[in-house]
Chain A
Amino acid sequence: MTDEFQINRNQSWMHSKRFWVIYIVAIIACKVLFSVLVPTYEYDWLTITLLHAVITFFGFHWQKGIPFFQAGWSQGKYSRLTLWEQIDRGQQYTPTRKFFTIIPIILFMITLHSNGYKGIPFYINAIASFVIVLSKMPRMDRVRLFGINKY
């Protein structure tokens, strides 16, 4: 496979451990920002979880192909794959995938702890986290439910 020797710059940045640290620090920074700017706001973790879910859903599971680089070398190989499906050339349960799967789970747990298991906040939290974690499961690789976002 010629693919073995080509670096897909669309996803290669995700494997860096430094980036993981920055990712976690950014989430904590958001929390700190909420605490400093609006100390009385009680749904800060919920907001972060929801924002994280929405952003990563569209970033990882909606946008297909290689949007930011010249992709002539790939000969359209990735044009139908989302960013999540391009990671590690489709290998499942790799460290990068595990990391980005565990992050929303932990966010869900934190939000659960701070906002409880009842009422609308819980449902928002649960649904957002469920969708985002489900999309990352190996079973969902290259599956387009009900043909949504198929082409």
Chain B
Amino acid sequence: MTESHDENEEEFEFSRNYFLAKELAGSGKKSTHKLSDISIVDEQELRAATADIEPKHEREIASLINSYKALYSKWVFELRCGFGLLMYGFGSKKALIEDFASTALKEYSVVVINGYLQSINMKQAMIAIAGVLWDQLKNKGRDSSGSFPKGQQPFSSQSIDSLLAFFDGPQVEENDCCVCVVVHSIDGPALRGAEFQLLLARLASCSHIRIVASIDHVNAPLLWDKKMVHTQFNWCWYHVPTFAPYKVEGIFFPLILAHGNTTQSAKTAAIVLQSLTPNAQSVFKILAGYQLSHPDEEGMPMDNLYTICRERFLVSSLVTLNSHLTEFKDHELVKTRRHSDGQDCLYIPLASEALEKLLSEISD
């Protein structure tokens, strides 16, 4: 009774917060400050500074992570009983899980999948798991080799279905032979796709496989349906915040202050332009000049540009102009958008001051 009351309260709280936030955004004048108002340091410097940020609370974090060690035996117990372990909470859990795996899971082989990377070849990972499991089965008993005729065929040439069938083979003895698959950031960019999750779920439900995974995203549970949660992954949740920095996990995330900042893009644009032919540079200059002199317009109409370029003998035909423009577009120097009167027009996605800076740089 009290529980449902609490829940209602929470829901109310949530919706109230939401509307408060909306109101705050609507009523109060929206801040017009630009990111470019901050004097942002050079990207290289920023990256260097990121690398040696002074850690805070090192002692407390260490003892927090150490305190989880008392849970290791419980985790092993649950893993053995057929549950998958799912670690969540703020902070990188990579070191924690790997420490758990290498101290408490000595009797299992452990294969680690780094889900925080940009892409993962699951098939290759499964082949590696199969190899490890095969070794383990061979070690356990000589007679078992007879019951796995597929072992003769190299795993790399087997289909995913037959690999899964191999993982789901009968256990000779109860909990005799298992490979523990550790998946860091199972909700990471590489594994977010539905097909990856289906495959991981099928993998997790195999008799020779145990799974330990971590999630970082607040909405990670939306990746799974009832079947996956209840019968395949069979998660046992653990809230283990570590507050350890997401060092490896964040490696592929752009730094917000380095990304999309004007000096930066003007600089890259200059590098690209300098590598182009003088004619192409001149075409770009015309476009830039037009944009600077007509700051309120949405862009330069295509035929307008063509006329000017022809007049200045920069291009001889529309084909040559188009080839220049394709080059610009590929490097994101120029974009098209629909003009209010319906025709396509070209513009350079840079602020005026950045554009001026760029023009001065390529004129040098």
Task: Decide whether A and B are members of one complex.
Answer: no
